[in-house]
Homo-oligomer: A and B are copies of this chain.
Amino acid sequence: MSTLKGAAIIGQSGGPTSVINASAYGAIKTALDSDVITHVYGAENGIKGVLDDKLIDMAMEDPEELALMKFTPSSALGSCRYKLKDPDVDDTDYRRILEIFKKYDVRYFFYNGGNDSMDTCNKISKYCLKNGYECRVMGIPKTIDNDLAVTDHCPGFASAAKYIATSVMEVYRDARVYDTGMITVIEIMGRNAGWLTAASALAAYKGNGPDLIYLPEVDFDLDSFIEKVKAIYAKTGKVIVCVSEGIHDKDGKYIAEYGSDLASQRDSFGHAQMGGLASYLANVVKEATGAKVRGIELSLLQRCAAHSASQTDIDESFMSGKCAVEYAVAGITDKMVGLKRTYDENGKYVCEPELVDLSVVANTEKKVPLEWLNETRDGMNEKFIEYCLPLIQGETQMVKEDGLPRFANLKKVRATV
Protein backbone atom coordinates (compact mmCIF):
# COMPACT_ATOMS: atom_id res chain seq x y z
CA MET A 1 0.00 0.00 0.00
CA SER A 2 1.45 3.30 -1.07
CA THR A 3 1.75 6.22 1.31
CA LEU A 4 -0.57 9.03 0.30
CA LYS A 5 0.58 12.47 1.36
CA GLY A 6 -1.86 15.35 1.40
CA ALA A 7 -4.44 17.31 3.36
CA ALA A 8 -7.53 16.00 5.13
CA ILE A 9 -11.01 17.49 5.42
CA ILE A 10 -13.31 16.59 8.28
CA GLY A 11 -16.97 17.56 8.07
CA GLN A 12 -20.09 17.03 10.18
CA SER A 13 -23.56 16.60 8.79
CA GLY A 14 -27.17 16.05 9.86
CA GLY A 15 -28.74 16.52 13.29
CA PRO A 16 -26.22 16.84 16.12
CA THR A 17 -25.71 14.54 19.10
CA SER A 18 -24.06 14.89 22.51
CA VAL A 19 -20.94 13.13 21.29
CA ILE A 20 -20.53 13.86 17.56
CA ASN A 21 -17.69 16.20 18.51
CA ALA A 22 -15.92 13.35 20.31
CA SER A 23 -15.80 11.58 16.92
CA ALA A 24 -14.64 14.71 15.13
CA TYR A 25 -11.97 15.22 17.80
CA GLY A 26 -10.82 11.59 17.37
CA ALA A 27 -10.36 12.23 13.65
CA ILE A 28 -8.86 15.73 14.01
CA LYS A 29 -6.36 14.77 16.71
CA THR A 30 -5.24 11.63 14.88
CA ALA A 31 -4.90 13.56 11.61
CA LEU A 32 -2.92 16.35 13.29
CA ASP A 33 -0.58 13.73 14.78
CA SER A 34 -0.15 11.93 11.44
CA ASP A 35 3.09 12.14 9.44
CA VAL A 36 1.44 11.83 6.05
CA ILE A 37 -1.46 14.22 6.55
CA THR A 38 -0.05 17.64 5.71
CA HIS A 39 -2.99 19.85 6.75
CA VAL A 40 -6.17 19.22 8.71
CA TYR A 41 -9.19 21.24 7.64
CA GLY A 42 -12.60 21.38 9.26
CA ALA A 43 -15.43 22.00 6.80
CA GLU A 44 -17.76 24.74 8.05
CA ASN A 45 -21.31 23.35 7.96
CA GLY A 46 -20.36 20.07 6.36
CA ILE A 47 -20.20 19.70 2.60
CA LYS A 48 -21.54 23.26 2.23
CA GLY A 49 -18.23 24.48 3.67
CA VAL A 50 -16.36 22.59 0.95
CA LEU A 51 -18.62 24.00 -1.79
CA ASP A 52 -18.27 27.52 -0.36
CA ASP A 53 -14.51 27.20 0.22
CA LYS A 54 -14.99 27.74 3.94
CA LEU A 55 -12.39 25.54 5.58
CA ILE A 56 -11.04 25.91 9.11
CA ASP A 57 -7.36 25.33 9.78
CA MET A 58 -7.54 22.93 12.72
CA ALA A 59 -3.80 23.31 13.49
CA MET A 60 -4.50 26.87 14.61
CA GLU A 61 -6.68 25.68 17.50
CA ASP A 62 -5.34 25.43 21.04
CA PRO A 63 -4.91 21.66 21.73
CA GLU A 64 -6.51 21.96 25.17
CA GLU A 65 -9.54 23.68 23.71
CA LEU A 66 -9.79 21.03 21.00
CA ALA A 67 -9.74 18.31 23.67
CA LEU A 68 -12.89 19.83 25.21
CA MET A 69 -14.72 18.75 22.04
CA LYS A 70 -15.09 15.32 23.69
CA PHE A 71 -17.63 16.84 26.06
CA THR A 72 -19.19 19.51 23.84
CA PRO A 73 -22.61 18.73 22.36
CA SER A 74 -23.83 19.70 18.91
CA SER A 75 -21.60 19.95 15.82
CA ALA A 76 -18.62 22.19 16.67
CA LEU A 77 -17.72 22.64 12.99
CA GLY A 78 -21.33 23.36 12.05
CA SER A 79 -23.63 21.00 10.21
CA CYS A 80 -25.92 20.96 7.17
CA ARG A 81 -28.72 19.00 5.63
CA TYR A 82 -27.49 19.27 2.06
CA LYS A 83 -28.17 16.36 -0.28
CA LEU A 84 -25.87 15.98 -3.28
CA LYS A 85 -27.60 15.36 -6.61
CA ASP A 86 -27.04 12.24 -8.68
CA PRO A 87 -23.77 13.10 -10.50
CA ASP A 88 -25.15 11.61 -13.74
CA VAL A 89 -27.95 14.17 -13.67
CA ASP A 90 -26.07 17.22 -12.39
CA ASP A 91 -22.36 17.14 -11.52
CA THR A 92 -21.98 20.85 -10.69
CA ASP A 93 -21.40 20.24 -6.99
CA TYR A 94 -18.95 17.41 -7.67
CA ARG A 95 -16.88 19.48 -10.04
CA ARG A 96 -16.71 22.16 -7.39
CA ILE A 97 -15.74 19.67 -4.69
CA LEU A 98 -12.96 18.28 -6.87
CA GLU A 99 -11.78 21.83 -7.56
CA ILE A 100 -11.53 22.51 -3.81
CA PHE A 101 -9.87 19.15 -3.18
CA LYS A 102 -7.26 20.01 -5.79
CA LYS A 103 -6.85 23.57 -4.50
CA TYR A 104 -5.97 22.31 -1.00
CA ASP A 105 -4.43 19.00 -2.15
CA VAL A 106 -7.05 17.12 -0.15
CA ARG A 107 -6.33 13.39 -0.20
CA TYR A 108 -8.44 12.40 2.77
CA PHE A 109 -12.11 13.14 3.30
CA PHE A 110 -13.85 12.19 6.56
CA TYR A 111 -17.57 12.72 6.94
CA ASN A 112 -19.33 12.42 10.27
CA GLY A 113 -23.06 11.75 10.02
CA GLY A 114 -25.98 9.40 9.36
CA ASN A 115 -27.38 7.65 6.28
CA ASP A 116 -27.42 10.76 4.11
CA SER A 117 -23.84 11.60 5.03
CA MET A 118 -22.73 8.12 4.08
CA ASP A 119 -24.49 8.62 0.76
CA THR A 120 -22.55 11.88 0.32
CA CYS A 121 -19.27 10.08 1.11
CA ASN A 122 -20.09 7.33 -1.33
CA LYS A 123 -20.91 9.69 -4.21
CA ILE A 124 -17.83 11.86 -3.66
CA SER A 125 -15.58 8.82 -3.52
CA LYS A 126 -17.01 7.37 -6.77
CA TYR A 127 -16.71 10.74 -8.51
CA CYS A 128 -13.04 11.17 -7.49
CA LEU A 129 -12.26 7.64 -8.65
CA LYS A 130 -13.99 8.19 -12.00
CA ASN A 131 -11.98 11.36 -12.52
CA GLY A 132 -8.68 9.78 -11.59
CA TYR A 133 -8.20 11.85 -8.44
CA GLU A 134 -6.87 9.80 -5.55
CA CYS A 135 -8.73 10.60 -2.35
CA ARG A 136 -9.49 8.24 0.48
CA VAL A 137 -13.00 8.69 1.81
CA MET A 138 -14.21 7.40 5.18
CA GLY A 139 -17.53 7.71 6.95
CA ILE A 140 -17.73 8.23 10.71
CA PRO A 141 -21.17 7.26 12.00
CA LYS A 142 -23.34 9.38 14.27
CA THR A 143 -27.02 9.40 15.01
CA ILE A 144 -29.12 9.34 18.12
CA ASP A 145 -31.64 7.40 16.00
CA ASN A 146 -29.35 4.31 15.98
CA ASP A 147 -30.73 3.34 12.58
CA LEU A 148 -27.55 2.73 10.56
CA ALA A 149 -27.16 -0.69 8.97
CA VAL A 150 -24.58 -3.35 9.90
CA THR A 151 -22.99 -1.45 12.82
CA ASP A 152 -24.13 -2.90 16.16
CA HIS A 153 -25.03 0.60 17.34
CA CYS A 154 -24.30 4.21 16.45
CA PRO A 155 -22.22 6.80 18.31
CA GLY A 156 -24.66 9.23 19.90
CA PHE A 157 -27.44 6.76 20.58
CA ALA A 158 -26.23 5.62 23.98
CA SER A 159 -25.90 9.11 25.46
CA ALA A 160 -29.42 10.00 24.37
CA ALA A 161 -30.62 6.63 25.70
CA LYS A 162 -28.95 7.26 29.06
CA TYR A 163 -30.51 10.72 29.31
CA ILE A 164 -33.94 9.36 28.40
CA ALA A 165 -33.80 6.45 30.86
CA THR A 166 -32.53 8.74 33.65
CA SER A 167 -35.15 11.42 32.96
CA VAL A 168 -37.97 8.87 32.80
CA MET A 169 -36.84 7.44 36.17
CA GLU A 170 -36.93 10.93 37.67
CA VAL A 171 -40.33 11.77 36.17
CA TYR A 172 -41.62 8.40 37.43
CA ARG A 173 -40.75 9.44 40.98
CA ASP A 174 -42.17 12.92 40.52
CA ALA A 175 -45.44 11.65 39.05
CA ARG A 176 -46.01 9.50 42.15
CA VAL A 177 -45.71 12.20 44.77
CA TYR A 178 -49.41 12.74 45.47
CA ASP A 179 -51.94 10.09 46.42
CA THR A 180 -54.18 11.30 43.59
CA GLY A 181 -54.29 9.92 40.04
CA MET A 182 -51.84 11.01 37.34
CA ILE A 183 -51.18 10.01 33.75
CA THR A 184 -47.97 11.15 32.07
CA VAL A 185 -47.21 10.86 28.36
CA ILE A 186 -43.57 11.34 27.33
CA GLU A 187 -42.74 11.98 23.67
CA ILE A 188 -39.34 10.80 22.46
CA MET A 189 -37.51 11.35 19.17
CA GLY A 190 -37.54 8.70 16.42
CA ARG A 191 -39.49 9.11 13.21
CA ASN A 192 -39.11 5.64 11.70
CA ALA A 193 -37.05 3.68 14.21
CA GLY A 194 -38.00 3.40 17.88
CA TRP A 195 -34.58 2.83 19.44
CA LEU A 196 -34.68 5.92 21.69
CA THR A 197 -38.21 5.29 22.91
CA ALA A 198 -37.21 1.69 23.57
CA ALA A 199 -34.46 3.05 25.85
CA SER A 200 -37.17 4.12 28.30
CA ALA A 201 -37.44 0.37 29.05
CA LEU A 202 -34.12 0.72 30.91
CA ALA A 203 -36.01 2.84 33.46
CA ALA A 204 -38.58 0.08 33.78
CA TYR A 205 -35.74 -2.43 34.21
CA LYS A 206 -34.63 -0.37 37.22
CA GLY A 207 -38.19 -0.39 38.59
CA ASN A 208 -38.96 3.25 37.77
CA GLY A 209 -40.22 3.09 34.23
CA PRO A 210 -43.13 3.45 31.86
CA ASP A 211 -46.16 1.18 31.89
CA LEU A 212 -46.52 1.36 28.14
CA ILE A 213 -43.98 1.94 25.34
CA TYR A 214 -45.00 2.55 21.75
CA LEU A 215 -42.55 2.39 18.85
CA PRO A 216 -43.09 3.33 15.19
CA GLU A 217 -42.19 -0.27 14.29
CA VAL A 218 -45.72 -1.28 15.37
CA ASP A 219 -48.98 0.22 14.07
CA PHE A 220 -50.58 2.33 16.79
CA ASP A 221 -54.23 1.81 17.59
CA LEU A 222 -55.76 4.69 19.52
CA ASP A 223 -58.69 2.70 20.93
CA SER A 224 -56.49 -0.11 22.20
CA PHE A 225 -54.13 2.50 23.72
CA ILE A 226 -57.00 4.19 25.56
CA GLU A 227 -58.28 0.84 26.87
CA LYS A 228 -54.85 -0.12 28.16
CA VAL A 229 -54.33 3.23 29.89
CA LYS A 230 -57.79 3.03 31.46
CA ALA A 231 -57.11 -0.46 32.79
CA ILE A 232 -53.75 0.49 34.37
CA TYR A 233 -55.20 3.73 35.75
CA ALA A 234 -58.11 1.86 37.33
CA LYS A 235 -55.67 -0.52 38.99
CA THR A 236 -52.86 1.80 40.16
CA GLY A 237 -53.96 5.40 39.63
CA LYS A 238 -50.62 6.18 37.96
CA VAL A 239 -49.73 5.64 34.33
CA ILE A 240 -46.58 6.56 32.43
CA VAL A 241 -46.51 6.13 28.67
CA CYS A 242 -43.48 6.65 26.41
CA VAL A 243 -44.20 7.19 22.72
CA SER A 244 -42.04 7.71 19.65
CA GLU A 245 -42.79 10.89 17.75
CA GLY A 246 -43.20 8.68 14.67
CA ILE A 247 -45.99 6.37 15.84
CA HIS A 248 -48.62 5.96 13.14
CA ASP A 249 -51.84 4.07 12.54
CA LYS A 250 -52.26 1.05 10.27
CA ASP A 251 -52.81 3.36 7.30
CA GLY A 252 -49.44 5.01 7.97
CA LYS A 253 -50.92 8.25 9.26
CA TYR A 254 -48.87 9.82 12.05
CA ILE A 255 -50.75 10.04 15.35
CA ALA A 256 -49.20 13.51 15.79
CA GLU A 257 -51.28 14.54 12.77
CA TYR A 258 -54.49 13.58 14.60
CA GLY A 259 -53.68 16.41 16.99
CA SER A 260 -52.59 18.89 14.36
CA ASP A 261 -55.71 18.10 12.29
CA LEU A 262 -57.73 19.27 15.28
CA ALA A 263 -55.53 22.33 15.72
CA SER A 264 -55.13 23.24 12.04
CA GLN A 265 -58.86 23.36 11.42
CA ARG A 266 -59.10 25.95 14.08
CA ASP A 267 -55.79 27.58 14.81
CA SER A 268 -55.09 30.84 13.01
CA PHE A 269 -51.44 29.83 12.72
CA GLY A 270 -52.29 26.39 11.41
CA HIS A 271 -48.97 24.87 12.42
CA ALA A 272 -48.70 21.17 13.05
CA GLN A 273 -46.03 21.89 15.70
CA MET A 274 -48.58 23.45 18.04
CA GLY A 275 -49.83 21.01 20.62
CA GLY A 276 -47.58 18.12 19.81
CA LEU A 277 -48.07 14.38 20.16
CA ALA A 278 -47.57 14.19 23.94
CA SER A 279 -50.16 16.93 24.57
CA TYR A 280 -52.58 15.35 22.13
CA LEU A 281 -52.38 11.89 23.72
CA ALA A 282 -52.46 13.37 27.24
CA ASN A 283 -55.68 15.15 26.35
CA VAL A 284 -57.14 12.00 24.80
CA VAL A 285 -56.57 10.02 28.01
CA LYS A 286 -57.79 12.91 30.14
CA GLU A 287 -61.03 12.80 28.17
CA ALA A 288 -61.24 9.02 28.70
CA THR A 289 -60.34 8.87 32.41
CA GLY A 290 -60.86 12.32 33.90
CA ALA A 291 -57.38 11.96 35.37
CA LYS A 292 -54.87 14.73 35.86
CA VAL A 293 -52.51 14.44 32.89
CA ARG A 294 -49.16 15.77 31.80
CA GLY A 295 -47.62 15.66 28.33
CA ILE A 296 -43.83 16.00 28.24
CA GLU A 297 -41.79 16.36 25.05
CA LEU A 298 -38.08 15.68 25.55
CA SER A 299 -37.45 17.78 22.44
CA LEU A 300 -33.88 18.92 21.68
CA LEU A 301 -32.83 18.19 25.28
CA GLN A 302 -32.43 14.47 24.53
CA ARG A 303 -29.95 14.98 21.71
CA CYS A 304 -27.75 17.63 23.34
CA ALA A 305 -27.67 16.58 27.03
CA ALA A 306 -23.90 16.18 27.12
CA HIS A 307 -23.97 16.55 30.92
CA SER A 308 -25.58 13.12 31.05
CA ALA A 309 -23.55 11.45 28.26
CA SER A 310 -22.39 7.86 28.50
CA GLN A 311 -18.61 7.71 28.83
CA THR A 312 -18.73 4.44 26.87
CA ASP A 313 -20.41 6.37 24.06
CA ILE A 314 -17.83 9.17 24.26
CA ASP A 315 -14.96 6.67 24.10
CA GLU A 316 -16.48 4.73 21.21
CA SER A 317 -17.27 7.95 19.32
CA PHE A 318 -13.68 9.07 19.73
CA MET A 319 -12.48 5.65 18.57
CA SER A 320 -14.59 5.70 15.41
CA GLY A 321 -13.09 9.05 14.41
CA LYS A 322 -9.56 7.96 15.30
CA CYS A 323 -9.84 4.66 13.44
CA ALA A 324 -11.27 6.34 10.35
CA VAL A 325 -8.05 8.33 10.02
CA GLU A 326 -5.80 5.37 10.86
CA TYR A 327 -7.54 3.12 8.33
CA ALA A 328 -7.41 5.76 5.61
CA VAL A 329 -3.74 6.43 6.18
CA ALA A 330 -3.20 2.65 5.93
CA GLY A 331 -4.84 2.69 2.50
CA ILE A 332 -8.49 1.89 3.19
CA THR A 333 -11.22 3.90 1.46
CA ASP A 334 -14.98 3.83 0.81
CA LYS A 335 -15.84 2.48 4.25
CA MET A 336 -17.66 3.59 7.35
CA VAL A 337 -16.09 2.73 10.73
CA GLY A 338 -18.91 0.81 12.41
CA LEU A 339 -18.95 -0.56 15.93
CA LYS A 340 -18.81 -4.28 16.50
CA ARG A 341 -19.90 -5.87 19.74
CA THR A 342 -17.89 -8.72 21.18
CA TYR A 343 -17.52 -10.15 24.65
CA ASP A 344 -14.26 -10.97 26.41
CA GLU A 345 -13.50 -14.25 28.22
CA ASN A 346 -15.33 -12.94 31.30
CA GLY A 347 -18.45 -12.16 29.29
CA LYS A 348 -17.72 -8.44 29.48
CA TYR A 349 -18.87 -6.20 26.65
CA VAL A 350 -16.11 -5.06 24.29
CA CYS A 351 -16.50 -2.75 21.31
CA GLU A 352 -14.26 -2.98 18.25
CA PRO A 353 -14.17 -0.99 15.03
CA GLU A 354 -15.64 -2.71 11.98
CA LEU A 355 -15.37 -1.62 8.36
CA VAL A 356 -18.70 -1.33 6.58
CA ASP A 357 -19.22 -0.58 2.87
CA LEU A 358 -20.51 2.96 2.40
CA SER A 359 -22.98 1.83 -0.26
CA VAL A 360 -24.60 -0.57 2.20
CA VAL A 361 -25.05 2.06 4.94
CA ALA A 362 -26.15 4.80 2.59
CA ASN A 363 -29.46 3.28 1.67
CA THR A 364 -30.68 1.21 4.58
CA GLU A 365 -32.37 2.00 7.85
CA LYS A 366 -32.15 -0.38 10.80
CA LYS A 367 -35.28 -0.73 12.88
CA VAL A 368 -35.79 -2.28 16.31
CA PRO A 369 -36.22 -6.05 15.84
CA LEU A 370 -39.82 -7.00 16.63
CA GLU A 371 -38.60 -9.98 18.67
CA TRP A 372 -37.12 -7.50 21.19
CA LEU A 373 -40.63 -6.23 22.00
CA ASN A 374 -42.88 -7.90 24.52
CA GLU A 375 -45.78 -10.09 23.39
CA THR A 376 -48.35 -7.31 23.58
CA ARG A 377 -45.97 -4.98 21.69
CA ASP A 378 -46.33 -2.19 24.21
CA GLY A 379 -42.97 -2.68 25.90
CA MET A 380 -39.51 -4.21 25.46
CA ASN A 381 -38.20 -7.59 26.60
CA GLU A 382 -34.86 -8.66 28.12
CA LYS A 383 -33.19 -8.94 24.70
CA PHE A 384 -33.36 -5.19 24.27
CA ILE A 385 -32.11 -4.57 27.83
CA GLU A 386 -29.13 -6.89 27.20
CA TYR A 387 -28.38 -4.99 24.01
CA CYS A 388 -28.69 -1.51 25.46
CA LEU A 389 -27.33 -1.75 29.00
CA PRO A 390 -23.58 -2.01 28.21
CA LEU A 391 -23.78 1.04 25.96
CA ILE A 392 -24.90 3.48 28.67
CA GLN A 393 -22.24 2.62 31.23
CA GLY A 394 -19.83 5.21 32.62
CA GLU A 395 -20.39 8.80 33.65
CA THR A 396 -19.08 11.62 31.50
CA GLN A 397 -15.81 13.19 32.59
CA MET A 398 -17.11 16.56 31.31
CA VAL A 399 -15.03 19.51 32.46
CA LYS A 400 -16.97 21.96 34.65
CA GLU A 401 -16.26 25.60 35.38
CA ASP A 402 -18.34 27.53 37.93
CA GLY A 403 -20.52 24.43 38.30
CA LEU A 404 -21.49 24.54 34.62
CA PRO A 405 -20.21 22.76 31.50
CA ARG A 406 -17.03 24.13 29.97
CA PHE A 407 -17.61 23.63 26.25
CA ALA A 408 -14.97 23.97 23.53
CA ASN A 409 -14.71 27.42 21.98
CA LEU A 410 -12.96 27.11 18.66
CA LYS A 411 -11.24 30.05 16.99
CA LYS A 412 -12.16 28.77 13.54
CA VAL A 413 -9.34 30.40 11.60
CA ARG A 414 -10.19 30.23 7.90
CA ALA A 415 -7.68 28.17 5.90
CA THR A 416 -5.81 29.66 2.95
CA VAL A 417 -3.45 28.25 0.35
Interface residues of A (CB under 8 A from B): 15-16, 18, 44-45, 48, 72-75, 78-81, 162, 165-167, 169-171, 173-179, 184, 202-203, 205-208, 262-263, 265-269, 271, 273-276, 279-280, 282-283, 286-287, 293-301, 303-308, 310, 389, 392-395, 400-405, 407, 409
Contacts and interface: CB of A to CB of B under 8 A. Distances in A.
A162 B280 CA distance: 30
A395 B400 contact: yes
A158 B308 CA distance: 18
A237 to B, nearest CB: 12
Contact of A169 (B18, B174, B405): B405
B177 A404 contact: no
Nearest to A206: B404
Contact of A178 (B80, B178, B205): B80
Contact of A78 (B162, B177, B274, B280): B177
B307 A166 contact: yes
Given A177-B75, A294-B300, A279 B283 contact: no
Contact of A263 (B178, B267, B271, B273): B267
A189 to B, nearest CB: 12
19 contacts: A45-B179, A74-B177, A78-B179, A167-B305, A169-B404, A170-B301, A171-B301, A171-B304, A174-B300, A184-B300, A203-B404, A262-B268, A263-B263, A266-B266, A273-B282, A273-B293, A273-B295, A274-B283, A392-B404
Given A177-B79, A403-B394, A299 B300 contact: no
B78 A178 contact: yes
A300 B278 CA distance: 14
A357 to B, nearest CB: 28
A271 B291 CA distance: 13
A407 B295 CA distance: 24
Contact of A174 (B44, B74, B265, B286): B74
A72 B169 CA distance: 10
A404 B300 CA distance: 21
A274 B267 contact: no
Closest 4 pairs (CB-CB, A-B): A266-B266, A74-B173, A174-B304, A170-B304
